[in-house]
Amino acid sequence: MDLEVVYDKIYRYVYFKIKNQSIAEDITQETFLRFIRQKGNIHDFQMKYLYTIARNLCVDEFRRVKPDSLPEDIDDVSPAQEDHLTEQIAVREAVAKLPAEDQELLLLRHVNNESAGTISKALGISRFALYRRLKKAEDELRAGLEACGYEK
């Protein structure tokens, strides 16, 4: 897998957990360095280990981290942009209503496109539990999107 793709996946995952850009990036890099120290190579990144390392680092950092403040340059927006932003906010709210564990699953499976095997090993759950929780999360997300009037 391309190194940049791996980096982006881990960064996205860490950012989802930490919600702080610079710390997320620091943790991503620390994840890579720890993996290399342990495994010694940079060609065969095993995602399950990377996620596990990243997860543990996030746990370590979690209490010290404050979420990034919202960007300040959103005062002057066109009506079209405003509609888009409103829609995004609605979508984010629907996702935010899901439990954090379900959000994590959706991120790993549908955004980072990880295999069920990788996710189940990284999170320490069985494949059966993974499929069950994933299905439930998808159904809840659909219901949440319908409730907030999201159409596409």
List contacts with another protein (CB under 8 A): 3-4, 7-8, 11-12, 15-16, 21-22, 24-25, 28-29, 32, 36-37, 40-44, 68, 88, 91-92, 95, 103, 106-107, 110-111, 138, 141-142, 145, 150, 152
Q: How far apart are CA 81 and CA 86, in angstroms?
A: 8
Tokens of 14: 């860490």
Q: Which residues contact 12 (CB under 8 A, 6 or more apart)?
A: 107, 111, 112
Q: Which of 74, 111 has the CB closer to another protein? A: 111
Taking the complex as a whole, how short is the minimal distance between the CB of residue 149 and another protein, in angstroms?
A: 13
Taking the complex as a whole, how short is the minimal distance between the CB of residue 13 and another protein, in angstroms?
A: 9
Q: Which of 104, 120 has the CB closer to another protein? A: 104
Q: Which of 109, 121 has the CB closer to another protein? A: 109
Q: Where do the H-state alpha helices sit in 40-126? A: 47-62, 79-96, 100-106, 116-123
28, 11 contact by CB (below 8 A): yes
Q: Which of 32, 51 has the CB closer to another protein? A: 32
Q: Which of 120, 137 has the CB closer to another protein? A: 137
Q: How far apart are CA 31 and CA 3, in angstroms?
A: 13
Taking the complex as a whole, how short is the minimal distance between the CB of residue 14 and another protein, in angstroms?
A: 8
Taking the complex as a whole, how short is the minimal distance between the CB of residue 44 and another protein, in angstroms?
A: 7
100, 18 contact by CB (below 8 A): no
CB-CB neighbours of 39 under 10 Å: 13
